[in-house]
């Protein structure tokens, strides 16, 4: 790796860190934390500082930022799985953003749709788990009532 490329990557990573850590009060324009997390995701993957794992690292950075900002539910949402299922759209969101003078609208909208889908899948999963737990409780009560009948 030549020195200028390494310096550029270091500068880009510092810019990304500053953007993620700057308190909102210092900024004149409000950026919603979810949008800011999506922008951080884009920035890291766009700078591409690693040979491999840039997407995973960018998503981890997004998760970290969301948790840091109090969005605890993201911990249970499988955003990466949803992205994996729509990989072509994920790649298109990057390409459209790059081709349209880095207009992040495409990438932001894609990620918001992805988060919505991941949240819907989480709700379905929660409903399934609830049914399974209820079924287990019903079976347990049935067994207990059968035991009680056999004792008397």
Q: Give 92 or 29, the one with higher predicted confidence.
A: 92
- At 15-66, the pLDDT tens digits run 888 888 876 556 678 889 999 999 999 998 888 888 888 888 899 899 999 9
Q: Decide if pLDDT at 83 tops 80.
A: yes
Whole-number pLDDT of residue 2: 57
Q: Give 62 or 12, the one with higher predicted confidence.
A: 62
Cα–Cα dist 83/115, whole Å: 9
Q: At a CB cut-off of 8 Å and minimum separation 6, what does 13 contact?
A: 44, 47, 49
Q: Give the predicted TM-score (pTM) of the model.
A: 0.77
Q: At a CB cut-off of 8 Å and minimum separation 6, what does 88 contact?
A: none
Residues in the chain: 152
Say which residue the tokens 């929660």 belong to. 126
Q: Give 122 or 137, the one with higher predicted confidence.
A: 122
Whole-number pLDDT of residue 106: 96
- At 107-127, the pLDDT tens digits run 999 999 999 999 999 999 888
Asked if residue 114 lies in contact with residue 145, where contact means CB atoms within 8 angstroms, the answer is: no
Cα–Cα dist 70/89, whole Å: 28
Residue 100 binned pLDDT confidence (cut-offs 50, 70, 90): very high
| Rounded average pLDDT over 142-152 | 64
Q: Decide if pLDDT at 96 tops 80.
A: yes
Cα–Cα dist 148/56, whole Å: 55
- At 122-136, the pLDDT tens digits run 999 888 888 888 888
| Rounded average pLDDT over 79-102 | 91
């Amino acid at each position: 790796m030549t020195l200028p490329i390494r310096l550029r990557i270091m500068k880009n990573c510092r810019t990304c860190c500053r953007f993620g850590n700057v308190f909102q009060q210092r900024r004149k324009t409000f950026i919603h934390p979810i949008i800011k997390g999506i922008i951080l995701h884009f920035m890291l993957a766009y700078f591409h500082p690693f040979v491999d794992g840039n997407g995973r690292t960018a998503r981890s950075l997004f998760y970290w930022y969301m948790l840091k900002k109090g969005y605890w539910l993201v911990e249970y949402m499988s955003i990466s799985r949803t992205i994996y299922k729509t990989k072509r759209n994920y790649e298109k969101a990057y390409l459209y953003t790059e081709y349209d003078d880095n207009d992040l609208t495409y990438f932001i909208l894609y990620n918001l749709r992805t988060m919505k889908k991941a949240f819907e899948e989480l709700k379905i999963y929660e409903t399934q788990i609830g049914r399974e737990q209820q079924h287990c409780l019903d079976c347990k009560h049935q067994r207990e009532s059968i035991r009680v009948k056999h004792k008397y």
